[in-house]
Structure 1
Protein backbone atom coordinates (compact mmCIF):
# COMPACT_ATOMS: atom_id res chain seq x y z
CA UNK A 1 0.00 0.00 0.00
CA UNK A 2 1.36 3.43 -0.91
CA UNK A 3 1.95 6.13 1.68
CA UNK A 4 -0.66 8.36 0.01
CA UNK A 5 -3.24 5.56 0.27
CA UNK A 6 -2.36 4.86 3.92
CA UNK A 7 -2.56 8.56 4.76
CA UNK A 8 -5.91 8.89 2.98
CA UNK A 9 -7.41 5.91 4.80
CA UNK A 10 -6.32 7.39 8.11
CA UNK A 11 -7.83 10.78 7.25
CA UNK A 12 -11.14 9.06 6.44
CA UNK A 13 -10.94 6.95 9.62
CA UNK A 14 -10.32 9.91 11.93
CA UNK A 15 -12.85 12.13 10.13
CA UNK A 16 -15.61 9.52 10.37
CA UNK A 17 -14.75 8.69 13.99
CA UNK A 18 -15.32 12.36 14.82
CA UNK A 19 -18.60 12.42 12.87
CA UNK A 20 -17.71 15.20 10.47
CA UNK A 21 -18.21 15.42 6.72
CA UNK A 22 -15.55 16.05 4.10
CA UNK A 23 -17.02 19.50 3.63
CA UNK A 24 -16.78 20.28 7.35
CA UNK A 25 -13.18 19.06 7.46
CA UNK A 26 -12.34 21.13 4.40
CA UNK A 27 -13.84 24.24 6.03
CA UNK A 28 -11.85 23.70 9.23
CA UNK A 29 -8.62 23.23 7.23
CA UNK A 30 -9.25 26.01 4.74
CA UNK A 31 -9.03 23.50 1.89
CA UNK A 32 -11.52 22.52 -0.81
CA UNK A 33 -13.93 19.60 -0.28
CA UNK A 34 -12.82 17.90 -3.49
CA UNK A 35 -9.20 18.16 -2.29
CA UNK A 36 -10.10 16.31 0.92
CA UNK A 37 -11.91 13.64 -1.13
CA UNK A 38 -8.89 13.09 -3.35
CA UNK A 39 -6.62 12.89 -0.28
CA UNK A 40 -8.88 10.25 1.25
CA UNK A 41 -8.77 8.23 -1.97
CA UNK A 42 -4.96 8.39 -1.96
CA UNK A 43 -4.89 10.32 -5.22
CA UNK A 44 -2.82 13.24 -3.95
CA UNK A 45 0.77 13.49 -2.84
CA UNK A 46 0.05 16.32 -0.44
CA UNK A 47 2.49 18.73 1.16
CA UNK A 48 3.54 18.40 4.77
CA UNK A 49 1.89 21.76 5.39
CA UNK A 50 -1.51 20.46 4.26
CA UNK A 51 -0.97 17.17 6.11
CA UNK A 52 -0.36 19.18 9.28
CA UNK A 53 -3.50 21.28 8.68
CA UNK A 54 -5.58 18.11 8.35
CA UNK A 55 -4.02 16.51 11.44
CA UNK A 56 -4.61 19.63 13.51
CA UNK A 57 -8.20 19.91 12.29
CA UNK A 58 -8.81 16.31 13.34
CA UNK A 59 -6.95 16.84 16.64
CA UNK A 60 -4.60 13.93 15.97
CA UNK A 61 -0.80 13.77 15.91
CA UNK A 62 0.57 13.87 12.37
CA UNK A 63 2.48 10.61 12.91
CA UNK A 64 -0.82 8.76 13.46
CA UNK A 65 -1.71 9.29 9.79
CA UNK A 66 1.19 7.19 8.60
CA UNK A 67 0.51 4.21 10.82
CA UNK A 68 -2.33 2.46 8.99
CA UNK A 69 -4.05 -0.69 10.09
CA UNK A 70 -5.20 -3.55 7.90
CA UNK A 71 -8.86 -3.28 8.90
CA UNK A 72 -9.42 0.31 7.73
CA UNK A 73 -11.17 0.32 4.35
Structure 2
Protein backbone atom coordinates (compact mmCIF):
# COMPACT_ATOMS: atom_id res chain seq x y z
CA UNK A 1 0.00 0.00 0.00
CA UNK A 2 1.26 3.46 -0.89
CA UNK A 3 1.39 6.09 1.86
CA UNK A 4 2.09 9.75 1.21
CA UNK A 5 2.81 12.91 3.15
CA UNK A 6 1.34 15.08 0.39
CA UNK A 7 -1.65 16.35 2.36
CA UNK A 8 0.39 17.30 5.42
CA UNK A 9 3.07 18.98 3.30
CA UNK A 10 0.50 20.82 1.22
CA UNK A 11 -1.45 22.06 4.24
CA UNK A 12 1.70 23.13 6.08
CA UNK A 13 2.38 25.44 3.16
CA UNK A 14 -1.20 26.72 2.92
CA UNK A 15 -1.57 25.19 -0.53
CA UNK A 16 -4.86 24.07 -2.08
CA UNK A 17 -5.09 20.79 -3.99
CA UNK A 18 -5.78 22.75 -7.17
CA UNK A 19 -2.59 24.79 -6.76
CA UNK A 20 -0.43 21.70 -6.35
CA UNK A 21 -2.20 20.04 -9.27
CA UNK A 22 -1.45 23.06 -11.48
CA UNK A 23 2.22 23.01 -10.48
CA UNK A 24 2.65 19.35 -11.45
CA UNK A 25 0.29 19.27 -14.45
CA UNK A 26 -2.53 17.03 -13.21
CA UNK A 27 -6.17 17.50 -12.23
CA UNK A 28 -7.13 18.40 -8.67
CA UNK A 29 -8.91 15.06 -8.38
CA UNK A 30 -5.61 13.27 -8.97
CA UNK A 31 -4.07 15.02 -5.98
CA UNK A 32 -7.10 14.08 -3.87
CA UNK A 33 -6.81 10.45 -4.90
CA UNK A 34 -3.07 10.47 -4.16
CA UNK A 35 -3.71 11.88 -0.70
CA UNK A 36 -6.26 9.14 0.02
CA UNK A 37 -3.97 6.38 -1.24
CA UNK A 38 -6.31 5.58 -4.14
CA UNK A 39 -3.84 6.35 -6.91
CA UNK A 40 -0.25 5.29 -7.52
CA UNK A 41 1.67 8.08 -9.23
CA UNK A 42 4.01 7.62 -12.15
CA UNK A 43 7.67 8.10 -11.35
CA UNK A 44 7.60 11.45 -13.15
CA UNK A 45 4.63 12.67 -11.11
CA UNK A 46 6.23 11.52 -7.85
CA UNK A 47 9.43 13.35 -8.79
CA UNK A 48 7.51 16.49 -9.78
CA UNK A 49 5.68 16.53 -6.44
CA UNK A 50 8.93 15.98 -4.56
CA UNK A 51 10.49 18.88 -6.47
CA UNK A 52 7.63 21.22 -5.50
CA UNK A 53 8.27 20.50 -1.81
CA UNK A 54 12.07 20.41 -2.10
CA UNK A 55 12.21 16.84 -0.81
CA UNK A 56 13.19 13.45 -2.17
CA UNK A 57 10.57 11.02 -3.43
CA UNK A 58 11.39 8.73 -0.49
CA UNK A 59 10.60 11.53 1.97
CA UNK A 60 7.07 11.88 0.57
CA UNK A 61 6.10 8.38 -0.54
CA UNK A 62 6.43 5.10 1.32
CA UNK A 63 5.26 1.68 0.26
CA UNK A 64 4.26 -1.17 2.55
CA UNK A 65 3.14 -4.59 1.47
CA UNK A 66 -0.38 -5.59 2.45
CA UNK A 67 -0.52 -8.46 4.91
CA UNK A 68 -2.78 -11.28 3.79
**Smaller-chain TM-score bracket:** 0.7 to 0.9
Q: Extract unaligned runs of 5+ from structure 1.
A: 68-73
Comparing both structures, which one devotes a greater share of its residues to helix?
A: 1
TM-score normalised by L of structure 1: 0.76
TM-score (norm 2): 0.80
Mark the structure with the bigger radius of gyration.
Answer: 2
Corresponding residue pairs, total: 62
Higher strand fraction (1 or 2) = 2
Aligned to 1:58: 53
Q: Calculate the aligned-residue CA RMSD, in Å.
A: 1.2
